[in-house]
Structure 1
Amino acid sequence: MNGCYANCSNKIWIFWNFDVSCSIYANEDQLVTCKVEHNPSNSFYFISVVYAKSTSSGKEDLWGYLRALSSTIDHPWAVCGNFNSIITSEEKQGGKPHRLNKSIPFIECLQDCGLMDMGYVGCNFTWCNERSHDQIIWKRLDMVVVNDNWNGLFPITEVLHLPRVSSDHCPILISYGNQNENHIKYFRFLNFWVDQDDFLEVVKSNWINHTEGNVMWNIQQKMKNTSKALSNWSRNNIGDIFLKEQQMGDLINQYEESYLQTLNEDDRMMLHKYKAELIVHHKKVDSYWRQKANLKWEVEGDNNTKFFHSVIRDRRSRLHIHRIQEGEDWIEGEENIATAAINFYQDFIFSGQYHH
């Protein structure tokens, strides 16, 4: 990262790179507000990051900070983070029943500030106390709320709950204003390949192939053959590391949802198994982004933070509709969604239900 900031309580850390101009607009113990500008655009917006206290009296100060900010910000504004509060009883499962009066101060604050919940994709809860059986509690403590100006500037905004792996909270990925990129893909050697068991065998078996010609021609042909073989090997044996990451995350969410409903010990063991596998897989993703950014770390940092940043940079919102539900299955991807929509209306018309 090119820039960083820690707030006065040292509990909120913010990192950014040179793709944006970021300045601290306000700093409180539970709230940091940044003014963000994408170069060379002249438009700017505000993002507030929240880490709320757990006590009602402590959160009263936070609600006051937000009301004061709303009176000074007349631009696109998003507030995200751990509010340590829920809006409805459906955002909690387990433990004592939620009392609605505990939500009223939070709800009134959002209304006074003109902020609305952006919703989410993924698991229904963002926090778990990780206890067992009758003592386990899930809550949606983390969320993203925005004002009307934000929706005007970023009509395509998606909030994704990523799998909980190394924390009792799940990371939240916010995608907004991304555009499709068309570019030529060239061969690139990925550093994490060398950690795979069959990597050397692929290189050796293709490098020793006999070629005719002078020395430089032979070297060029060997490199060409080996790079092509490595690309095919990576595609067939490793696959799309980001797609696999998403699939592993879906499995984690699936078993967490199942465990949430049944408290079955087998589901709990499978949940921990896939979490462990995802932690190992994160090392590949982290290696990819280190290499892409052409940065070197002498001291290992917080892998969660680097992973979170890498996903933000990689994810592209291709459509206003990010996914649709067909029966009990979710369909994602531009072509899959288009095919499903065409099939639906064709079946609808040919079934005789449509009348002109």
Structure 2
Amino acid sequence: MTFNRRTLLTASLVLPIASTAAAKEVWTRPAGMAPDTSAALWPEGHITPPPGLIEQVVQRSDDPNASDRMLERISRPRLDIFRPAKPNGAAVILAPGGGYRYVVVDKEGYELARWLRDRGVTVYVLFYRLPGDGWTNGADVPLADAQRAVRLVRRRAGTDGIDPARVVFGGFSAGGQVATSLLTRFDAKAYAPIDAADTLSARPDALAAIYPVVSMDPAIAHAVSREKLIGANPDAAREALYSPERNTRADQPPLWLLHAEDDSVVKVDNSVRLREATRAVGAPVEAHFFERGAHGFGLMKTAGLPVAIWPELLWNWLGSHKIV
């Protein structure tokens, strides 16, 4: 059966993925949007999904020219890989958002992946496990997947034509919480080593957080992400452990932050606090705050606004750190 973008949009909005074969149909067919390949994060049989956890794609857009999918109930964490025609050696891992309820596919994943790929970057879109889906030690599974992703990308350096010393991790919204957790806990023992990839460092060479969920302080936290990650009534120690702004360190990667002041979903205070905490420990940080943009603007919802320049600002910052 052949799928194109219109076929997917006019089909049922909920597309269950019950097997690898079914996943291939959904993930590799939309014309012009497809990754080149997909790599599992974990060896076959290493992780056991909770009973009844079956992935499904939900299409949220009725515009055939603007796909907006989300992936729920992730049971097969993986990297979807976009390879440039002429790799420049840089690698970027992207963790899209979704409030720890799902992972956005297009708006915060494939769209930026294609933009970076066209500039020579090899891009890996990370579909990480969600803490509320019943995994053992659920609060740590996003961080474990992020650590594993960085290590696996470095392990694949020869295959993918990238420099293992030029690996960037970027995250949007709740994916920004995944990213900023990795920023400060890249060497935490989130999982037991399983193969040669796990001998490699999980510290990215640079890290970008775009309108990120950061803090678990209820005064500024994104309430849904907080509850999914650490529960409704965490104690003070648990709240602190999962609040990256309270765990900054001098040896963390260079950090780039982007947020709109009028974000009513994830308060700009999340980025402000992380910037100040990063400065306090003497680690490098660059932050951009825009008057307007709201939440979840990605690449496509910035038309006519000054924030539309953000991808170029990020690109120039990556250049200043000799990534691109």
How does the TM-score come out when normalised to structure 1? 0.31
Q: Which has the higher helix share?
A: 1
Which of the two has higher C-alpha Rg? 1
